[in-house]
Amino acid sequence: MTRMSGAEIVVKALKDQGVDTVFGYPGGAVLPIYDAIFQQNDIRHILVRHEQAATHAAEGYARSTGKPGIVLVTSGPGATNAVTGLTDALLDSIPLVVLSGQVPTFMIGNDAFQEADTVGITRPCTKHNWLVKDTDNLANTLHQAFHVATSGRPGPVLIDIPKDVQFADGTYVKPEKANKGHYAPQVKGDVDAITQAVELLETAKRPILYTGGGVINSGTAASQLLRELVGETGFPITSTLMGLGAYPASGEAWLGMLGMHGTYEANMAMHDCDAMICIGARFDDRITGRTDAFSPKSKKVHIDIDPSSINKIIRVDVPIVGDIAHVLEDMLRIWKARGRKTRSEEVAKWWKKIDGWREKQCLSYEQKGPIIKPQYALQRLEALTKKYDRYITTEVGQHQMWAAQYLGFEDPHRWMTSGGLGTMGYGFPSSIGVQIAHPESLVINVAGEASWLMNMQELGTAMQFRAPVKQFILNNERLGMVRQWQELLHGERYSSSWSESLPDFVKLAEAFGAKGIQCSDPDGLDDAIMEMIEHDGPVVFDCLVEKHENCFPMIPSGKAHNEMLLGDASTQGAIQAGGAVMV
């Protein structure tokens, strides 16, 4: 067995795990590891300007590659700054391995300089975490961390490494000889339960496939099997925000995204279906609305690798614990062996009903006058960029929902957004992580001016590492989603929802050495977007849009799927179940 310093063990373990990129920020408690990184050339370190940005950049890297994102931060404030990104990754099931420095073991508990109880602080926002007090245990813990982060339902893990452990010598263990512990998630689904699900496919009159990010996390095979299932059965399919791209947006069976800002047809189909096949989604509140009124007449199948998600929010009729790819493979095999049966005539009637809902054209809008509508800006962005090898990240707010509605994703791993936590400031550093992973691709962050300002310092990172990320800011000079809720639900009392004292984004970009573009004219939008695309470095695009545009459709908080607000906010566009009556 090889003896080496703890810092060298860290670097060796990262190499053996196939790591090529680390996002981080140095400090006193991790200088031995930084010194070991300096003395090798296989792992690239990306110096961010804030530790929160390191975690979001690692999330973007992980989401776009399927590999775990790696973060290196110092003790105390370095670790606490990473907490938001850890929580974001936990809610969205993103594999991260975060390495934090800690004060020497003999000083722990003495309120030493830059000491914090990192393990205690991060316990609620990681899948698992460790404090390593013995260098001989370090290699094994590192390999175990990678196993936990990437197995089962993916998620973030953290290893807290005291400085004296980094200096001391220890024994290195290779990944294949490491003790991975007892964590062995179930990947094969119960055959009897899968057969029950198949029987539901065979007898359903009004079926729908409700899919989520678990399909993408399961790997390429899961998305391919999902597409086969849709193609073979002819069933309609919808997706959560996190699942976009698992099934192509151009597919005939695609109903669009569902949920609070989902399409009318997707939400109505979810409400009226008689068989719901939930695949890799978790019935979160932005999808279900009122749980007691959620799809009341349907039998429900729930396929998820995380057993704690089953029956947590919505009671289901057929629970199946397992990896999506394995379960879909077995489901298709059993369904084909039983004769590939569906109630095709009834399903055809169901499609006619869905087509009636589609005729509402719930995403329609009118671009008129001299002011750019945000929907128009994103439709033009989609039209001009879809031919490229393109990745999209977003910040959080109205622009995020419009991006999900108007941008089309044909493949998984092309859409990076903060779903569960809704983290403003996520998109810019995430776009840098995506660009580092895919240096030749077009990476665009769709942003709101308020969200973007939260991590604007990462322009320095983009410039230093020549990451030509494009920041497409829909600037309405408002905290758009906050303002919308205040208009609709709080009597138009706009408490602190104006973006005050905004910078000149063009000058701000130029101050960092990047390119700045501003556009306020709908007629000049296409040329400005092409100028952004064709520039070979980072761009900040300040797109001045209608200040009071609302994002519809919208299911108001506490309402059911069939109580959506459509169209102009002044009419409240509420469409009630059964009658499509404007009230």
Residue 574 lies in a domain: no
Do 422 and 537 fall within a single domain?
A: yes
Residue 400 lies in a domain: yes
> Which residue's structure tokens are 């007090």?
133
Do 130 and 54 fall within a single domain?
A: yes
Do 401 and 324 fall within a single domain?
A: no
Average pLDDT, the chain: 95
Residue 342 lies in a domain: yes
Residue 366 lies in a domain: no
d(CA 350, CA 228): 20
Do 453 and 530 fall within a single domain?
A: yes
Q: What angle do CA 489, 490, 496 make, to 5 degrees?
A: 125
pLDDT of residue 568: 59
Active site residues per annotation: 51, 113-114, 163, 481
Pairing of β 69-73 and β 96-102: parallel
Residue 551 lies in a domain: no
Residue 527 lies in a domain: yes
Residue 555 lies in a domain: no
Do 454 and 426 fall within a single domain?
A: yes
Query: What is the per-residue pLDDT across 107-138, written as a single tens digit (0 to 9) for each?
Result: 999 999 999 999 999 999 999 999 999 999 99
Do 154 and 248 fall within a single domain?
A: no
Do 465 and 334 fall within a single domain?
A: no
Do 404 and 351 fall within a single domain?
A: no
pLDDT (tens, 9 = 90+) of the chain, 583 residues, equals 689 999 999 999 999 999 999 999 999 999 999 999 999 999 999 999 999 999 999 999 999 999 999 999 999 999 999 999 999 999 999 999 999 999 999 999 999 999 999 999 999 999 999 999 999 999 999 999 999 999 999 999 999 999 999 999 999 999 999 998 889 999 999 999 999 999 999 999 999 999 999 999 999 999 999 999 999 999 999 999 999 999 999 999 999 999 999 999 999 999 999 999 999 999 998 889 888 899 999 999 999 999 999 999 999 999 999 999 999 999 999 999 999 999 999 999 999 999 999 999 999 999 999 999 999 999 999 999 999 999 999 999 999 999 999 999 999 999 999 999 999 999 999 999 999 999 999 999 999 999 999 999 999 999 999 999 999 999 999 999 999 999 998 999 999 999 889 999 999 999 999 999 999 999 999 999 999 999 999 999 999 999 999 999 999 877 888 888 887 543 343 433 333 222 2
Give the 3-state secondary structure percentages of the chain, helix then strand then coil, rounded to 5: 45, 20, 40
Do 50 and 152 fall within a single domain?
A: yes
For the entire predicted model, the pTM comes to 0.95
Token pair of 212, please? Answer: 């989520």
Number of H helices, E strands in the chain: 23, 22
Do 212 and 310 fall within a single domain?
A: yes
Do 283 and 424 fall within a single domain?
A: no
Do 157 and 240 fall within a single domain?
A: no
Q: Where are the alpha helices (DSSP H) in 273-393?
A: 285-288, 324-337, 344-358, 374-385
Query: What is the per-residue pLDDT across 14-47, written as a single tens digit (0 to 9) for each?
Result: 999 999 999 999 999 999 999 999 999 999 999 9
Cα–Cα distance list, 459 to 165, 427, 449 (Å): 35, 12, 14
> 236 in the Ramachandran plot: left (φ > 0), alpha (ψ -120 to 50) or beta?
beta
Token pair of 552, please? Answer: 């519809």
Q: How far is CA 295 from the centre of its chain?
A: 25
Q: For helices 6-16 and 31-38, give the axis angle rounded to 10 degrees.
A: 60
Residue 364 lies in a domain: no
Query: What is the per-residue pLDDT across 392-416, written as a single tens digit (0 to 9) for each?
Result: 999 999 999 999 999 999 999 999 9
Q: Provide the domain limits for residue 95.
A: 2-177
| Pick from 272, 304, 297: nearest CA to 208 | 272
Query: What is the per-residue pLDDT across 52-94, written as a single tens digit (0 to 9) for each?
Result: 999 999 999 999 999 999 999 999 999 999 999 999 999 999 9
pLDDT of residue 562: 84
Question: How many domains does the chain fold into?
Answer: 3
CATH number of the domain within which 224 lies: 3.40.50.1220
CATH number of the domain within which 394 lies: 3.40.50.970
